[in-house]
Amino acid sequence: MPDLHEAASEIRHATFRLARRLRQQRAVATVTDGQFAVMGALRWHGPSTLTALAEREGVTAPSMNRTVDCLEEEGYITRERDEQDRRKVIISITEAGAAVVDETIVRRDEWLARALSGLDGGDRDTLRHAARIILEVVDG
């Protein structure tokens, strides 16, 4: 039986390689992983302030501002003054940005489905069970 550190290393290596392959499946090649994460956060959690986005992504406000600037230039997000507090700027995803997020998710799911199609049902069930365990570890 492998020791705990060896098991951790094997799992880390496998998940990093899987994540790298999934990140390659993009709807738009020019959108970085960080930019995609911001668009995804806006798509799934709704409009946000720059500060809240920076905290969610674990980056500084100036770094998030550069990311938001790039996404705004591409037409993927908008900034508007908050109606109740004019000092706040609310960042929202546009239809074009939402389309990029949705298409990227479709491409990633399709790639993974093709990869899983080569496995037998038992192995697919094992991976689904492992996915649930990984989420428990990460979210726990």
pLDDT at residue 127 greater than cutoff 70 = yes
CB 90 within 8 A of CB 80: yes
pLDDT value at residue 63: 96
CB 94 within 8 A of CB 78: yes
CATH of range 4-139; options 1.10.150.110, 1.10.10.10, 1.10.10.60, 1.20.1070.10: 1.10.10.10
pLDDT in tens, 98-109: 999 999 999 999
Nearest CA to 22 among 117, 113, 130?
113
Beta strands in 39-88 (DSSP E): 77-81
pLDDT at residue 1 greater than cutoff 80 = no
pLDDT at residue 121 greater than cutoff 90 = yes
Give the domain ranges of the chain. Answer: 4-139
pLDDT value at residue 107: 96
pLDDT at residue 80 greater than cutoff 60 = yes
> pLDDT grade, residue 113 (50/70/90)?
very high
Residues 6+ away with beta carbon under 8 Å from 66: none
- 86 phi and psi, to 5 degrees? -65, -15
